[in-house]
Amino acid sequence: MELKRVVVTGLGALTPIGNNIEEYWDALAGGKSGCAPITYFDPEKFKTKFACELKNFNALDHFDRKEARKLDRFAQYALVSSDEAILDAGLNLDEVDKFRVGVIWGAGIGGLETFQNEVINFAEGDGTPRFNPFFIPKMIADIAPGNISIKHGFMGPNYTTVSACASSANALIDALNYIRLGHCDVIVTGGSEAAVTMAGMGGFNAMHALSTRNESPETASRPFDATRDGFVLGEGAGALILEEYEHAKKRGAKIYAEVVGGGMSSDAYHMTAPHPDGIGVERVMLNTLRDANLSPNDVDTINTHGTSTPLGDVAELKAIVNVFGEHAKDININSTKSMTGHLLGAAGAIEAIASILAMKNGIVPPTINHTTVDENIDPSLNLTLNKAQKREINVAMSNTFGFGGHNACVLFKKIDA
């Protein structure tokens, strides 16, 4: 069967460097770090005392007090970012067929803060099981798309993808496939996460996954740098409106880009470490190119997973060289995690948005905080270090990988008639 074309018609973002799309893009292009000392709790006894928290976000600016109490932060972020994307897309909710509008959302963890606080309250009590009646619906990862659909009356496919840090990229790929197979006209997709909590920081510290550069938080996320020592935990949400091309054209929607391919693979190697030779990463990029019917030479930019971990950065770049060969040195490679930190299940969404905005504006955001060359990284690669670079972009790739060996990759193309 002939697959339908799928385009992006709306964007929404709530990130550590900007609380909407305009702020997010300005900070990306300007190389702004979102990392600072933790304010949500006292981090004094933790190995890592910093994170990429949201700035100046007040739930009561978006929800009344009663509603806010029913929502974990990750679900609040989902509603705020998806509202921005729906508004940006210019969707007339009275005219769309709501049975053909779905919500497919990604979250690697979900309501971690809710779970943490309920357990603390129980442990500090007298043993009587007094739990909040909203404990379970606040915690479960699928409540985010559920709440989005309830708010707007969307009655198409509705679920959450959970594949650790690849979650929202997987959601985007599922949304792409539902639309191009003809099952939906529009899907609200993306991801959200709110893991900057005592349990989140403590758990990742116990794994030795986080940077401990407490003396200089703003420079702690330093992908590809020889002195990198782990990732920086971030939080927030990204939302995209995916729409069937003819449906979008008929209603005169603005179109950011076409989603031309998505691929997945598994490392089948280790719970948390990447395959050292990047075999799974290599395969996911090849799968994505094949799905898009494009060649390696068509790709102009790659927003890498690039978490700032000693093993992961090298494995991913090794895979890029293997897939793209000589063309690899002509690609602008970057990691926007150097600015936003790692948003876990929401990473794929905000990084897909970064790729789309880079294409729209002809500017590749930088990989900031690079000071020391890593001898294990091919010096011919253009890692877009420290300053944004102007470039005409026709095809942009976004890579996202998760604990458990989950790999997801998405390709965006400048729209043509």
Residue among 247, 305, 370, 406 flagged as catalytic: 305
Identify the bridge partners of residue 44 per DSSP, sorted by sequence position: none
Which residue do the tokens 């929401």 mark?
Answer: 346
Residue among 152, 247, 275, 342 flagged as catalytic: 342
52 is catalytic: no
184 is catalytic: no
406 is catalytic: no
Residue among 52, 165, 184, 409 flagged as catalytic: 165
Catalytic residues: 165, 305, 342
